[in-house]
Homo-oligomer: A and B are copies of this chain.
Amino acid sequence: MQEATRLFADQGYAGTSIQAIADAVGIRKPSLLYHFGSKDALRECVLDEMLARWNDVLPQVLVVATRERQFDAVMKVLCGFFVDRPERARLILRETLDRPEHMRARILQYVRPWVDVIASQIERAKADGLVRPDVDGEVYAFQVITMVVGSTAVRESLGQAPARGTTDSAAGPDDDRDRFVRELTRMARASLYTNGTAG
């Protein structure tokens, strides 16, 4: 499963042969097919597992969401899920491009709860005058998720080439990660609240 996830994410479904997966695991091709039935069933299995882990992470944020600083908590969980395992972002992007109609249903199922949580927060905050009145909560939430997934998927691939500019000379990978997450969060927050710096 791990190897299949990695290979599908890195080379795509059509670009990955079941022979290659079998080689990576150290068994023969028919043995792999015995376990999963077909290549397409393996694809479903890989996607299901990733979405199941996504569901593991959902309750965390709903608990935290009862406190203040909800926004930062949601962004932290959302970013963490993909940034800590970028192959998830690449896989979800590839699947969306490969089988849009198939992914639409799953995305509705799995991101809908998030969109609802975020949208309800936005409406509440809008009533308090904290959120810009022209924000469309649903489009906004969808856009933020797309931004996180998309930029995470290409970040490692591109070695964040254009992002090393004028800052201090040497920075560790952890610094890069934090800087990346912080900027994503900053953009999402600033484009939402009337006061761009407050949660």
Contacts and interface: CB of A to CB of B under 8 A. Distances in A.
Interface stretch (A34-42, A50-58, A73-81, A89-97): A89-97
A119 B134 CA distance: 27
29 contacts: A10-B97, A11-B14, A12-B12, A12-B14, A12-B94, A14-B14, A15-B15, A93-B154, A97-B154, A103-B157, A104-B159, A107-B162, A132-B190, A136-B167, A136-B179, A138-B162, A139-B165, A139-B179, A139-B183, A142-B151, A143-B151, A143-B184, A146-B147, A147-B151, A149-B150, A187-B191, A190-B191, A191-B196, A196-B196
A184 to B, nearest CB: 7
A163 B147 contact: no
Given A100-B156, A115-B162, A139-B179, 6 more contacts: A96-B154, A97-B153, A104-B161, A107-B158, A119-B165, A140-B183
Contact of A158 (B96, B179, B192): B96
Contacts of A139: 163, 165, 179-180, 183
Interface of A: 10-15, 90, 93-94, 96-98, 100, 103-104, 107-108, 111-112, 115, 119, 132, 134, 136-143, 146-147, 149-151, 153-154, 156-167, 179-180, 183-184, 186-188, 190-192, 194, 196
Contacts of A154: 93, 96-97, 100, 146
A138 B163 contact: yes
